[in-house]
Structures are given as C-alpha cells and as structure tokens.
Chains A and B, each alone.
Chain A
Amino acid sequence: MAMHPFAYANANSLEEAAANLDGETRPLAGGTDLVALMKDGLVAPKRLVNLKTVPGLAGVVAHADGLHIGALTTLSNLASNPELQERRDLAALVEALEESATPQLRHTATIGGNLLQWPRCWYFRNPQVPCWRKGGRRCFAFQGENKYHTIFGGGPCFAPHPSDPSVALMALDASVLVVGPQDRDHRNGFRVVPLAEFFVLPRRDHEWADGYHPVTLLETDEIVAAVVVPQAADGARSAFVKVMERGAWDFALVSAAVSLTMDGNRVAASRVVLGGVAPIPWRANQAEAALRGERVSEDGVARAVRAAVADARPLGHNEYKVALAKQALAQAFRALA
C-alpha cells in the first residue's frame, strides 16, 4: 500500500513543532516505525513535522539532576557515548541499545522514537485486523496466536512493548521531558514524567481522536524532548539480558534489566524490570521487595525471581515466557553478582 500523501516541514524549535501538532500532524524523528506504519496504512498523517532540524535535540549532556539524553539522539550514537560506555551503573542501557535491531536501524532510530514505538503485534500490524489497540472491539491475540504476547498486565490489549532501551531506562529510574502547549500542565513549556508513569497499561478511556489507544500518556500535541537518567548512588550497577529466537534483529521474547545499589554485601535498593512480557516495560515490584536487605546469593536471587513471576498470567501459547522471564532475570543477577 502506498503511503497517503502528506505535507512536510522542518521544525526550527520544539515550541514551533509542538504548536503545529495535532492528530493529523505528527512529529517525525528517525521514522523507522512511523514510515513503516504509514506504508501499511495504519497511520495516515496529513502533515509531518521533522524534528531533526531542531537544534540541540541530539546528544548527551550532564546536568545536576542527571544525564539529559536528547530525544533525537540515535541509538548508535547513544550506545557509543563515552560517558555511557564507562559507567557501570548505566551498563544495562548500553547493552539494551547494542542488542536492539540492526546497525542500520540503530543509526537511524532515535531514543525518543524508540520509547514511542507502537506494538509489533502481528494482529496490530495487519491492516485487515480491526484490533482493540487500533480502535477495534477486541484483542485478536487473546484467544489467537499469542506465543509472543504478554504474561503480565494484558487486556484489553495483550501486545508486549517492543523497546529494549525502555526496559533498561526504567530500571535506571529515568524520566522523560515532555514539551507541549503552555495552556496545559507544562510549566516553563515542559513537564517531567517518570517512565513508570509515562507508559500506560491499555485503558478504554485512554484514546486518541483516531480511535487508537496509545501506549504512553503522550498527547498528540506533545513531544518527548529528552530522557533524563538520574544520578545513581555510588557503586550502583546494572545489567540487561535479552532472549531472542534469532541471533539478532529480533524483538525480545523476554528481556530483563536490573539495577542494584549495595550497602556492603546487602541490597540497599534495586529496580527490576522485565521486557517483552507486558504492554509496557514491567516493573517487578515484588522482586525488588524480596531483595531489599538481602545478599545477592543463589537463594536470594531465586526468591526474587520467583516473586517476579508470581503474578504471571500466561495466555494459551506463551507459558514458556514465565520460565524465560525467570531465567533472564537470574542471568541479569548473575551478571551483577
């Protein structure tokens, strides 16, 4: 299917771009997801606003509140950033970036766009299938072919979130800086939203004008300007593990990111996040609770891993993801032990 015709403009500033956005005018960054969606006729904006011409949107800058990663930073530039490469607390992010997609896609795709990807679900991506996420009445995966679908937080949509970096970023307690119209909740022109709030589970009342149910709370007139990774405590470390069916270029069957801060040989704080298992990057709160004050021993890990999947609700064809999630998580812990 040919893309619907659209008009195109280069933005000079975020404010200018945001002021022009609406349901029919969409921002364009790397375009690796948007152009594919447009080719399939799944979205058909009338206008695209190119964000790549906005000065200062790409790159990594250290601020008092942590690292600010410009939303237009490509995955490959971010992965090779010297500061990221050096810091053990950020290792999960580098690993997640390096295991994403392919060199070509990493050169093109941006970190902001990566967080805003639509599900890769084979029902969602099929223009013939009127699934719930696209404004239809039901999820076709729920009782259909769902080996790649969710084991947590599913319903009404059971498609997992496709981003690897988001899993790592959530484990690093990152936030996004969102620019939007002054008249809403954007003091100084922006608002800061923790990723844990930014990603939203499928909700019937959370809907765009075109009937689509978005994966984040971003409104159609808002733009992600930056990802903010807060300064971690001294000695914090992180790891990321991804399980795929192919050696590369595959979305995660399951991924796991763990960030640990130790107090002596006991866990002072941890953030444990699973990917490929829920409509959003899935924070495993029970695992974190189980770890608090514990050693990272075989027993401690086993308890945490069990706790992480205690609430899993697999579908007809993805029971195996429960075992995979446990193993991926255990591997991530092993990497940090």
Chain B
Amino acid sequence: MPKIRKTKVEFEGRIEEREVIVEEEHVETWPRGATLRLVGKPTPRVDGVARVSGRALYTHDVQLPRMLIGRFLRSPHPHARIKAVDSAKAEALPGVALVWHRYHPAPIATLEGREIFPEEVAYEGAEVAFVAARDDRTAEDALALINVTYELLPFAFDLESATAEDAPKVLLDEGNWVSREGDVYQRGDVGTGLGDADEVVELTFTTPIASHCCLETHGSAASWEGDQVTVWHSTQSVFGTRSSVADALGIPMDKVRVISDYIGGGFGSKWGAEPYTLMAILAARETRRPVKAVLGREEEHLAAGYRPGSWQRVRLGAREDGTLTLIEHDAKVATGAFGGGGPVIGGPSKDLYACPNVRTVVRTSRTNADHARAFRAPGYVEGTFALEGAMDALAHKLGMDPLTLRMKNYAEMSPSRGGPYTFKGLRQAYEMGAERFGWSRAVPTDLPNGQGPWRRGRGIASQIWGGGGGPPANAIVRLLPDGTAELSVGVQDIGTGTKTVLTQVAAEELGLPLEAVRCIIGDTLPAPYGPGSGGSVTLASTTPAVRSACREVLRQVIALAAVMLGLEDASVDDFDVERGDIVYRKDPDRRLAFARVTAKMGDYTIVAKGARGPNPDDKAVNTFGAHFAEVAVNVETGQLRVERIVAVHDIGRVVNPLTATSQVYGGVMMGVGYATTEERIIDPATGLQLTANLEDYKVPLVTDTPAIEVLFVDVADTEANSVGSKGLGEPPIIPVAAAIANAVFDAVGVRVTDLPITPDRLLALLSRASNAGFSKEVE
C-alpha cells in the first residue's frame, strides 16, 4: 500500500526534502559481488539498429499530412521597445496560415507568467512574431515581410557591464541584481580559517559562456484530435512537458500526450513547453492542421540557453602539512534577463574536502541575454575549475604533490550534511587513476622537454556530484502469454542509453534474455510518471522501480506455477527463479519452465507496477571521480594539445560498462571543448552574439580527441538503492578543465585562470612569464 514519507533527494547541488508517496519495495538489494547474468555486462544498445540506419525518428523528423511549419521573427536588438508591428504583407503571402505578434496575439499570450510577445524585448533573439505556413520557405519569406518598429534601449551585454555603477537597466522595471548579497553557505569562520593557516593562496578565475549546441535544435510538433493534443517535443522530460502544456493551455492532463522517442542531445537545455511549443500547439488548434516549429542553428544559440560565464575568487588556507583551514569561494554570474538564481558554483567548495571553515557566495545579475539554463553539472563545472585550480596552486606553494594534498583533506563524512555517505569511492578513484596514469612516474620523455617548442605536463582534479536519484519513479511490466515482457517507464533516452539499461535490469530480474523484453519510453500515454533526465538521476531513480515491478510479476507467475506444480499451499518465498525456471526451494526437482507457465495463461496478461523506494535517512548519496590529464603546450604558438585523460569514477554498480564508458568519453570531450575552444563572444558595441553558429562557436572534433582511458571503482552502493547504482551523466565533465589547466601549469609554469585556453591567452601568459626561462620565441 502506498504511504506518504519524507525523503531527501539531491538535485544539481541542492538537497531537497520531498514528501512523496512511496510503496514498499519488494526487492532485496543486489549484494556486492552478486552474480548477475546481464547487469554489469557490456551491452550494445537495444535500439542500435534504429540509430545507425536513419530510422530513429526525432522531433525534427515528424511529418504529418497537411502539416504546417512555424517560425519566429526574433529581435535583432539586445534591448528594445516594440512600437509597431506591420504584418499585412506577410499575412497576404500565399501559403501563410497565420501570423501572431504583440498586436495580433495568439489565443494564449503568456507562458509561465511571461508574455510571449512583450513590449520590451530584452535580448537578441527574443520572440517578436510567429508565422505558420505551408513550408519552411514560405514561413521564412513571410518573416521577411513583417515590419517592426523598434525603439532602441541601452543594454548590458555581460556581467561587468551589468554590475557597473552606472549600468544600463537590463529590464526597465527591475534592478540588474537578482541577488546582490548572494546565495551564501557558511560553516566555521573565515577569520579562524585564516588565523590557523600557515599558507594562503588567492586566485581569481573567469569562465566563458558556453552553448549546449544540441545537434538536434529545440523543437516541437503538435496535432489535435478533438480536445486531445499530441505533442512531439525534443525534451529531457516528457512528464514535465505534459504538466507545462496542460498548465499553459489550462486543460486537464489527460488531454495531453507528449512523445519524445529519440532526442538529439539535451545536456540540460531541453525541458518543458517553450514559446515554440505553445505556438505550435495553438496554431495547430487554430488551423486544424498539425504544426511543427523547430529552431534554426542561430536561434539555438540565441534563445535556447547556455552555461553562464562566471567570475570567481578562491582563497584557500592550509597548515604546513597541507591540512585545509579555509575555503572561501566568491562567485558572480550573469544569467540573462529572466535568469533567476545562479548555479551552485560553491557546491564543490562546500563538499569536496574536509575543511572546518568554508564560506561560498554566488551573486547573480541580469544581462540582456536569453535565460541561462542548466548545462551538464551546472555550477560544479565552473566551481571545480576554480577550486581545483586553487588546490593545485596551494600544493605548489606548499611543495606538496597535488594528489597527496587531496588525500590529506579527504572527507570521510559529508562535510555539509555532517553524516556519512552511503558509499564513497573517491580514494579508490585516486589510487586507481594514479596507478593507471603513472602519476608517480616522471613525465614521459618521448616528447622531451627542452627539445623543440612542445612542453609536456600533467595535472589532476577531482569531483563530487549527486546522482543518487530518488522517488517518485515508477515502472509497469506486462508479461505476455508467450513469456516475453513489455516494460513501460516514463522516462526518455537523451543518448545516455537509458532504454538499454532499463531493459537489462528488467531482463535480469525476470530471468529472461535481453531480446525478450521490449522497453517503451519517451511517451506519457503508456507509462506512469518518470523523472526528467537531469541531475544524473535517471538510472538510480528508475531501475529500482523496474526491479520492483518485475518482482511483482514474478510473484504472480510463481503463484501460478505453484498451482501447476501442485504446491498451492507453498509461499511465494519458497520459490526461486533460476535461468528461466521456477524452482521449489525445498525440492529443487520440482521446477517449471517460465514459458510453460505463461503458455497456460492464454490471453491473460500479468501486469505489475513498481515504485522507487525512499533514499536512506541521514546518509548522503553522492558520486565521485578523479581525472588525470596529460597535455602538450607549444610555447611558440600557444597551442595546447590534450593528449591523454585517465578518468576514474565511482558511481556504485556499473550496469552497462559499454554505455557508461561512452558517457565518460562524452563528458571528457565536452570538458575538453570547454577548456580549450568553446566561448560565446558578444559584441560590446551592438550586443549581438558573434558566435551564433558552429563555425565560430568551436565544439571539439574527432581530431581533438585525446586518448581517454575510463575506469570505474564499480563497487555496488548497496545502501543507496536496490540496484546499487548511481548516475553518471554529469560527473565526467566536471573535473576536465581543472585537470587540463593544472597540467598546463606543470608543463610551462603559468597558471591559466581564464577559459578557454586558446593560443592568444596562452601566448600572452607565456610572454608575461618569460622569466621562467622557457620562452624560446624567435626574437
């Protein structure tokens, strides 16, 4: 029976206490070292053929009869007041079905309390008008015919200009600071920490604005049947989308079905209904034709979110022996015109090391930009770059090995929560990584120091993140008459391999081969609620629910088998399931093949639901990792080559080593891009984004791929949940930039505190540090 309980869930650096309805789990936790048939084995994706054959259908690929295409006219100015919109010519263009804007609004004019076509547009790319037409050409031709009169307003394009004394107002009716005093976390006392320190380092860091660059741009399609709407939405949360669509339209949830079968990347940027979603839905209702609205690549940069840039100052104090006495971490971020609170930049400083005196502050300002969004480990990527860079500087100052310094300050208990962890394998990660990397050995000499312009160096950085997941998450399993099963979970696979791990866990639990379980996700209609794919929670939230549902199915099958074996009076607990057989424990010769039981069922379908249980009380559930980087720096050209990354992660039990390794590759590559080439550049004079494409915004290519070695601690976290697994989506990007920058310091003796590490920055630093004796410029 369901019960109401309180449980703590960590999501992107914030601990939430949720009051949730949970059901008793009927499942015993898989112990460490359990012999499992499918779980833990490298398993190619169950939807591999669809993905490699072009048959996988993404939101972009939705094509319905008589479908219209929707497009937005967007503000070409970072801040303006709309005085007039003349859309007569656009409306008269053959093939145009409708044009909506401020003076000819859609039936619903707001989304989440904000006007879709406001008088005051506060960023380049803000929605000004919407056109639905028979095809994309006609829609875009129509946009070109709309005449908008703007009154230009002063703008603040970045953190510095928005927080200056006489800064222009980002929004006419709001102050520029969202939070001037900031989000503050404190334990102990800064003065005490300083007083106790023998050495202090203080560094200032900046990080760039980074764009998600999902290869499938944001988009939705909508089709109505009577009062029911089906929405295809490229999203990380089909259920979040259903709620937001129902809210926006003011219609019951049962009238809304959301489908997101394949998603071309999300990385934190794709959630509920957005203006394009709502316009597509409303236009579809108005025209009685399906409507699809997807963003172009430029719009994706302008209006689909970003990781905010940051300014950070870190002060560390330590005793001579390396014991930390103080971590002080001040950050400022700018999150756009409507950005709200900043990311949890102080998270790593709060929790990565045992330190009695810690103070973190994150101040948030508005800027004339679209709102910042979560981007793969929001806050932790930025904060870890600064904290772990400062730790490296501290190690250097103390004359200590950077790894030794980290071990010295190892937090056995959760520093911010005070209690123990369910499991913490960071020490193992350090040890495994150091061993594999050869940390204690000298720098490899095949690219020798002193010969030619290249210098080699090595660095480390470590990481903490949540990823423990929690309720609510549900699963439904149907056992079909031929002994195969359908598994339905209310999640979506944004590329992490969710569908495959869910299938593995169900097949494992049911004792079926992988092929005998069909997993249905990415659709709100067949499934009970499942969480959004964020905070690295999907696997840890849903796989226990899958186990629970499967267990209930087995109970029912066993009950039938008992009858067939003439053991009506035996308890279900008297039976085991072994390789497709139901076995009577007291007399193992009395057994029945699973398929023989289901064959007896005729068209009766066994259906069972499972739910995720609560998290353990008073224990922190976290994931950890350590990265070791080797780089080569050309002291003449300032070019940086990331040559090797050894990445070790503790995520509890690894359900699918094949796809888990892929996650780490992906996080490392995204971290390499963040550290070396990616940067949104905005023109100070016009406030326009100069890098709103994939030529000037430089994501890494296959040619930029270092040798990446992936290791997992792979010890089941048996206190976390019944599967023993935690999430991995975000952790592998977190330590990358710091490990690389620390390796650059090792190579050439300059501390890079501003990302990305491009030749212009590195050359400037190198020429400033020419007294170090390595500058071999031709002079």
Instruction: Answer yes or no: B698 CB below 8 A from chain A CBs.
Output: yes
Interface flag for A18 (CB, 8 Å): no
**Residue numbers in A under 8 Å from B691 (CB-CB):** 122
A145 in contact with B690 (CB, 8 Å) = yes
Is the CB–CB distance between B637 and A123 below 8 Å?
Answer: no
Cβ–Cβ contact A247 & B704, under 8 A: yes
Partner of A2, one of B136, B637, B685, B763: B136
Among B137-145, B311-319, B342-350, B729-737, the one that faces the other chain is B137-145
Residue in B76, B453, B639, B695 whose CB lies within 8 Å of A128: B76
B684 at the A/B interface (Cβ < 8 Å)?
yes
Question: In the complex the two chains form, is B677's CB within 8 Å of A323's CB?
Answer: no
Instruction: Please tell me if the beta carbons of A123 and B690 are within 8 angstroms of each other in the complex.
Output: yes
Interface centre among A140, A301, A319, A323 (most CB of B within 10 A): A323
Q: Are A318 and B685 in contact (CB under 8 A)?
A: no
Q: Which residues in chain B, 640-679, are within 8 Å of chain A measured between CB atoms?
A: 676-677
Q: Mark A1-12, 1 if CB is under 8 A from B, else 0.
A: 110000000000
Q: Which of A235-258 contact B (CB under 8 A)?
A: 243, 245-250, 253
Tell me the residues in window 611-640 of chain B with beta carbons closer than 8 Å to chain A beta carbons. Answer: 636-639
**Residue of B144, B637, B701 most packed against chain A (CB within 10 A):** B637
Residues of A within 8 A of B686 (CB): 128-129, 140
Contact partner, A324, options B137, B141, B637, Cβ 8 Å: B637
- State in angstroms the CA–CA spacing of A147 and B690 once bound together: 12
In the complex, A326 Cα to B704 Cα: how many Å?
24
Complex interface: chain A residues within 8 A of B140 (CB): 1-2
Query: Do B681 and A128 have beta carbons less than 8 Å apart?
Result: no
- Do residues B701 and A243 form an inter-chain contact, with CB atoms below 8 A? no
Q: Is the CB of A126 within 8 A of B688?
A: yes
Residue A211 CB within 8 A of the other chain: no
Tell me the count of chain A residues lying within 8 A, CB to CB, of chain B. Answer: 37
Any A CB within 8 A of the CB of B760: yes
Using C-beta atoms within 8 Å of the partner chain, give the interface range for chain B: 35 or more
B696 contacts the other chain (CB 8 A): yes
Task: Please state if A324 and B763 are interface contacts (CB–CB under 8 Å).
Answer: yes
Contacts of A41 in B (CB 8 A): 144
Residue interface bits A294-337, CB-to-B below 8 A is 1, else 0: 00000001100110000000000111100110111010000000
Bound CA span A198–B686, Å: 34
A315 to chain B, nearest CB (A): 12
Interface flag for B34 (CB, 8 Å): no
Bound-complex Cα distance A125 to B639 (A): 27
Across the interface, do B760 and A302 meet the contact criterion of CB distance under 8 Å?
no
Residues of chain B with a CB closer than 8 A to A246's CB:
677, 698, 700-701, 703-704
Which of B143, B683, B767 is A323 in contact with, Cβ under 8 Å?
B767
Q: Is A143 an interface residue (CB 8 A)?
A: yes
Beta-carbon contact of B760 and A317 below 8 Å: yes
Q: Shortest distance in angstroms between A151's beta carbon and chain B's nearest beta carbon?
A: 12
Residue of B nearest to A303 (CB): B778
Q: What 0/1 readout, one digit per residue, does chain A (192-231) give for beta carbons within 8 Å of chain B?
A: 0000000000000000000000000000000000000000
Known: A246-B677, A324-B763, A328-B637. A126 touches B704 (CB 8 A): no
What CA separation (Å) do A330 and B693 show in the bound complex? 33
How far is B698's CA from A120's CA once the two chains are assembled, in angstroms?
A: 14
Within B499-547, which residues are at the interface with A (CB < 8 Å)? none
* CB interface residues, A 95-154, toward B, < 8 Å: 120, 122-123, 125-126, 128-129, 140, 143-145, 147
Report the Cα distance A328→B453, complex, angstroms: 12
Query: How many A-B contacts at CB < 8 Å in the complex?
Result: 92
Docked complex Cα distance between A326 and B700 (Å): 27
Bound together, the chains give a CA A128 to CA B686 distance in angstroms of 10
Residues in A neighbouring B758, C-beta threshold 8 A: 245
B777 on the A face (CB < 8 A): yes
Contact, CB under 8 Å: B141 / A2: yes
Question: Which chain B positions have C-beta within 8 A of A144?
Answer: 683-685
Q: Is A147 a contact of B685 with CB atoms below 8 Å? A: no
Other-chain residue from A140, A250, A328 in contact with B685 (beta carbon distance below 8 A) = A140
Chain B 94-152 residues near chain A, CB threshold 8 A: 136-137, 140-141, 143-144
- Cβ of B639 and Cβ of A243 under 8 Å apart? yes
In the complex, the answer to whether A320 meets B764 with C-beta atoms within 8 Å is yes
Q: Given contacts A140-B685, A324-B759, are A248 and B701 in contact (CB under 8 A)?
A: yes
CA distance A301 to B137 in the complex (A): 56
Residue of B whose beta carbon sits closest to that of A298: B778
Query: How far apart are B778's CB and chain A's nearest CB, in angstroms?
Result: 5
Expressed in whole angstroms, the Cα–Cα distance for A145 and B696 within the complex equals 12
Q: Are B759 and A143 in contact (CB under 8 A)?
A: no
**Which residues of the other chain, B, contact A245 by a CB distance below 8 angstroms?**
676-677, 698, 758-759
B interface residues, Cβ below 8 angstroms from A: 76, 136-137, 140-141, 143-144, 453, 636-639, 676-677, 681, 683-686, 688, 690-691, 693, 695-696, 698, 700-701, 703-704, 758-760, 763-764, 767, 777-779
7 shortest interchain CB distances as A-B pairs = A247-B703, A2-B140, A122-B690, A320-B760, A327-B636, A248-B703, A320-B763
Besides A243-B637, A245-B677, 12 other A-B contacts (C-beta < 8 A): A2-B144, A122-B690, A122-B696, A143-B685, A245-B758, A246-B677, A246-B698, A246-B701, A248-B703, A319-B764, A323-B637, A324-B638
